Chains A and B, each alone.
Chain A
């Protein structure tokens, strides 16, 4: 009894001192804790202000809408890769999977269309056939993701190598299906999602692809924040052995993340065909580096456990604003690319310093 009450008093007094110091160093502490989120946000703000001041065209509503549309496809694939980075792995196959899936869906639809025409079924086929092509495309992408997951967890290949191999498989399949041709017959659903608008009057015409990108981000955020699976992803990335020794099947978590990543890459690839109006076996090579840089720019750790879709959103915006802003500045195209690289590097350095600041504060 005696020891019990003594323990309680200790606890109470400590709680008191804790709350006191909490209010005192509150703001500084909060800022430090949020360094991972704040540094990218500040970078975004600085870029926004800079381009608003230096160019006339940047701040126009139409241009801002363009920025969003430009990063929307990237948003879908970045959502997926966020899962993979959070659990401490990497997926190099996304761009290739995206390309291949776009081609597969287009080829399936084209083939279906040909058959239905020869059977005189005609237009009735279009919606169902398009849906079928898109679903099969999604399954195809997810299957490649499962292959990534299986070789990483069951076989024990580093995801870096496993996804590199799958990248080649997917690239090869994409070219095998197209034989270098460009496929122009697309499921109408994809043309709508990737390339059409909602609304009439010019400043308020909203590209559908923005809605798709936003939906992907929202779903990703929801899963990571409010489901047990999402929690396990963070915990697996934070300390895999500790997660395993807490009874979590970390292999399954990693495999699931790689599958999600490939699936979202597939969706992005199909959206992209809709945006372009055609499918081809090449052209998406930048997607891999773009999406990983966007996610890391937003503050998600390459080593897992920290970050999230909120960060990815900020990273995408930094990326979009930077690319678009440099266009508005009308820089020479040969200057633009390396300038963009340098600015990305600076942003990443700022992120790292913000984290060091936080970690030093924590000690």
Chain B
């Protein structure tokens, strides 16, 4: 199958730049994709992976530079256009029809009809032979929702191929898969490669990238840093390329501040929250840790590592399947969120959508969590507004107007309101999910300094985030989660961005 033209790239990006508002999401990116290869794309959150993926999928066309497909310069007008030209996307959040059969999903765009009547038998027959061709043993008459996530993903890839794609982009394909499912996917990818398909494999999981790809391109801060053959790469070099000199600067910052800053003082208080052997279905298993008063304990992991479910179990919003909790040395059973609130656990959700009533006044949002204690008897608006004003001043919400609707605030200020809500009564344990996601630097610093103040006051703080910088900046120590397991506990000099990422 060695063809002379196989050396010329099937797809090239030349000098591509893309701006979102003021910020560059891609800067002068050069990229080439050889026919029949599996090309890995790695980089931190915000490095430009998803922008590049959207570019190739035709989601936007306001970029500068050139996209060359099979030797011809092209500009995709729409995702449908990109698809028509043979580029297929398989997103992390699968867009399958759960209640339809596998065959219906495969033919969802162009089901075979005769005179407007759906030809079921023909559809099932063709679908089955298509899957067989791709070496997949899946019953096409079963409903999509009955399949495992891994099988659904394989069907989705098959659908993309069926609709004519020869270049297939896989976005974080392994993040939701178990180990055997990952194996199955890799076998499938190898088979596709043998059939001459070209794949782009975007992933946070460096081992997976190292195992399945032929070449790897590393993005960092909107730039392409390198493209290298996988045979010459290992996890260490990739991580270094991904975070580059940042790591050294952070390392230096950390070393310089060591005597004053966070990591050092291990003179934290008594054990406040003890988690013993906690598991929940397929989300996470055998989690063990102790959170002390006056400590910020980080939990780092990529999206879908089980950290959110863990946090929800610690607040009674979900139930663990086994294991136990103890608060302040007393056993703790959380039937619901009210129980958690009542024993002094505070919870900041990972997205702002779940944390505030945007159409209600700020003061009502602030007094909500501890309304019972703040307003014995009947509600008096003046008293509530006073309380809110104190809280607003304490956390620095701007503009400081309690009668405004919470939806009128910026993201950073909304997050301050969420904190203010939980600080009307001093919590024992504060669980923070992604407390600074999507904020500008100023707001981020303000939120983190509030969190640090709370540590000084002796609150036990669990900081769950996908942003390693945040943990390095303020946590005393950190756990790393990967696919529902705690893979490392880092403290002191080991608590670096590099180590966090390497264990995730």
**Which A residues have a C-beta under 8 Å from some C-beta of B?**
7, 10-11, 14-15, 18, 225-228, 230-232, 234-235, 238-239, 241-249, 251, 305-306, 362
Tell me which of B340, B357, B379, B421 contacts A305 (CB under 8 A): B357
Query: Which residues of the other chain, B, contact A362 by a CB distance below 8 angstroms?
Result: 405, 407-408
Whether A246 pairs with B369 at a CB distance below 8 angstroms is yes
Whether B337 pairs with A247 at a CB distance below 8 angstroms is yes
Whether A226 pairs with B399 at a CB distance below 8 angstroms is no
> Is B356's beta carbon under 8 Å from chain A?
yes
A-B contact list, 21 entries, CB within 8 Å: A11-B393, A11-B396, A11-B400, A14-B398, A18-B400, A226-B378, A226-B379, A238-B357, A241-B353, A242-B349, A243-B368, A244-B317, A246-B341, A246-B369, A247-B340, A249-B336, A249-B337, A305-B357, A305-B359, A305-B360, A362-B405
Q: Tell me the B325-339 residues at the A interface (CB within 8 Å).
A: 336-338
> Is B196's beta carbon under 8 Å from chain A?
no
Which residue of B has the minimal Cβ distance to A15?
B400
Interface size bucket, B side?
35 or more
Whether A245 pairs with B379 at a CB distance below 8 angstroms is no
Whether B368 pairs with A249 at a CB distance below 8 angstroms is no
Tell me which of A226, A227, A246, A305 contacts B368 (CB under 8 A): A246
Tell me which of B336, B354, B405 contacts A242 (CB under 8 A): B354
- In the complex, A297→B379 CA distance in Å? 28
Tell me which of A18, A238, A306 contacts B401 (CB under 8 A): A18
- In the complex, A239→B341 CA distance in Å? 18
Q: Tell me the B389-428 residues at the A interface (CB within 8 Å).
A: 393, 396, 398-401, 405, 407-408, 421
Query: Which residues of the other chain, B, contact A226 by a CB distance below 8 angstroms?
Result: 378-379
Q: What 3 A-B pairs are tightest by C-beta distance, nearest first?
A: A247-B341, A238-B357, A226-B378
Least CB distance from B137 to A in Å reads 35
Query: Which residues of the other chain, A, contact B400 by a CB distance below 8 angstroms?
Result: 11, 14-15, 18
Which residue of B has the minimal Cβ distance to A226?
B378
> Is B254's beta carbon under 8 Å from chain A?
no
- In the complex, A10→B446 CA distance in Å? 14
> Is B371's beta carbon under 8 Å from chain A?
yes
Query: Which residues of the other chain, B, contact A238 by a CB distance below 8 angstroms?
Result: 357, 359-360
Least CB distance from A253 to B in Å reads 11
* Total cross-chain contacts (CB, 8 A): 88
> Is B493's beta carbon under 8 Å from chain A?
no
Q: Tell me the B217-263 residues at the A interface (CB within 8 Å).
A: none
Contact pattern, B 343-354, Cβ under 8 Å of A = 1, otherwise 0: 000010100011
- In the complex, A33→B398 CA distance in Å? 20
> Is B372's beta carbon under 8 Å from chain A?
yes
Whether B357 pairs with A228 at a CB distance below 8 angstroms is no
Query: Which residues of the other chain, A, contact B336 by a CB distance below 8 angstroms?
Result: 249, 251
Query: Which residues of the other chain, B, contact A235 by a CB distance below 8 angstroms?
Result: 357, 360, 364, 368
Given contact pairs A243-B368, A305-B359, enumerate 4 new A-B contacts (beta carbons under 8 Å).
A227-B379, A239-B358, A245-B349, A248-B338
Least CB distance from B309 to A in Å reads 14
- In the complex, A244→B369 CA distance in Å? 10
Least CB distance from B404 to A in Å reads 9
Whether B398 pairs with A11 at a CB distance below 8 angstroms is yes
Least CB distance from A221 to B in Å reads 13
Whether A228 pairs with B340 at a CB distance below 8 angstroms is no
- In the complex, A242→B130 CA distance in Å? 46
Query: Which residues of the other chain, B, contact A11 by a CB distance below 8 angstroms?
Result: 393, 396, 398, 400
Whether B355 pairs with A245 at a CB distance below 8 angstroms is yes
> Is B100's beta carbon under 8 Å from chain A?
no
Whether A248 pairs with B337 at a CB distance below 8 angstroms is yes
Whether B338 pairs with A249 at a CB distance below 8 angstroms is yes
Whether A242 pairs with B357 at a CB distance below 8 angstroms is yes
Given the interface contacts A11-B398, A234-B360, does A245 sit within 8 Å of B408 by beta carbon?
A: no
- In the complex, A249→B316 CA distance in Å? 11
Query: Which residues of the other chain, B, contact A241 by a CB distance below 8 angstroms?
Result: 349, 353-354
Query: Which residues of the other chain, B, contact A230 by a CB distance below 8 angstroms?
Result: 379
Whether B357 pairs with A18 at a CB distance below 8 angstroms is no
- In the complex, A234→B399 CA distance in Å? 24
Which residue of A has the minimal Cβ distance to B355?
A242
- In the complex, A230→B381 CA distance in Å? 13
> Is B375's beta carbon under 8 Å from chain A?
yes
